[in-house]
Structure 1
Amino acid sequence: MTIASRRFCGPLLALMMGLTTAEADQTDSAVFDLTLKGIYAGTLSVSGAIKGQSYAASGVLKSGGLVALVKKVRYDARSRGSISDGRFRPALYEEDADTGKRQSQSVMEYSSGVPQVKKYNPPRKKKDRGVDPASQGGTLDPLTALYAALRDVPEDQACNLAVYMFDGKRRSQVVLGDPQPKDEGISCPGEYRRLEGFSKKEMKEKSRFPFTMHLEPAGDGMMRVVEVSMDTLYGNGSLKRR
């Protein structure tokens, strides 16, 4: 994931961990408006489908409004793999990003849960601090984590996570605290943490990003994410579901 897309998506990336039983079929589609310091900055669209023990997801982040006049950003990603009772195991992740200044692509395949970077453009430099993919078994790709966090879930699975992610170069973590009642829904305090593979400058500017997810009932005992408030490098931000 590019620096620009991580600044928007990082605090959102999350996953509900589970056991190893079959998952009910499910289809999700959501569009969120992104605001930074109260100013409209773009949209995040995430969709996915679960059928049996397989899943496929796609996501698009793009700048909009006044922000797009200054800097156009677009992040497209696709992922697929297997799932059992909320536990996702990616098999393939593909990403195309454009920061307005640089375009990049990456492809990761997984073998026994270990990511294998098949494509990473622009190529890494020898002095690159990137993490060795062979050491990242059990991690999730950014889109799989994002889809799992934003999809509808049973109430007893909400706000219960502590997962690690790997984007082909960097390792990070998302944790959520105890759920708290809010209006007719649930509020989940959380934090996104940069761990390894980030530059000294990136770690110095900020390594922890607190955020709060707000979920409301979606019917049939399911909960739905309707808003995410977060701390970003650009100031306070939020995602509100349309």
Structure 2
Amino acid sequence: MSNAKRFEGKTAFITGAASGIGRATAVAFAVEGARVVVTDRVEAALRETGESVKEIGGEVLAIACDVSKPEEIEAAVARAVNTFGRIDCAFNNAGVENKATPLHEIELEEWDRILGINLRGTFVCMKHEIAQMLRQGGGVVVNTSSGAGIRGVAGGASYAASKHAMIGMTKSAALDYAKRNIRVNCVLPGNIATPMMDRFTDGDIQKAIDLEPVGRLGKPEEIAEAVLWMCSDLGGFVTGASVVVDGGWSL
């Protein structure tokens, strides 16, 4: 039986890596042999992610980066390439939730903030990641959409709009680069035990559990496993897909 690691010699670039799904995915990539670039705007927590990767013997580069600022994204991608030479797997996970608000009460500034981070930020990340993948001859991109990308959410028009749009952007990019050895997919988490979920429920996590047909929250590591599968050779025939990992919530 082979002990080969799935991502030996490869580099993974992860946004929103300071906690939750991003941190779990960074650690999972490192366990499988990848060099890991982690980015987030929360620097103290990002350093903790870096330490978590180092503790398991992984090679890590932590870069403070706010995905709402295109120049910071471009600089982060350039630094990753300067350090490790390439980006084989990009996981665009950075995102924010909205405060539950009926559509007619959403302020334009709040709409722009949610779409600017979740959708525009992911677009700018993809723009620079894919340019690098074209130069090196291929790669894989996975974007974090949501169960809210395939169903409505009362009080969540801005968040749901950003996550629905991400799926359309992902499908279109998958077609753009299908013959260039670049695959582009989405993962759609349900209610996952993360700091975002704590904020979204105001600490009443039972509300989120009650929405899950399986009767529990998902674990960040379960989303990480789906991301790694899509990035690995086992997912080599998968592109433009929306992989739902939500315990049945979207049903």
Return the TM-score normalized by structure 1. Answer: 0.32
* Structure holding more strand per residue: 1
Return the TM-score normalized by structure 2. Answer: 0.31
* Structure holding more helix per residue: 2
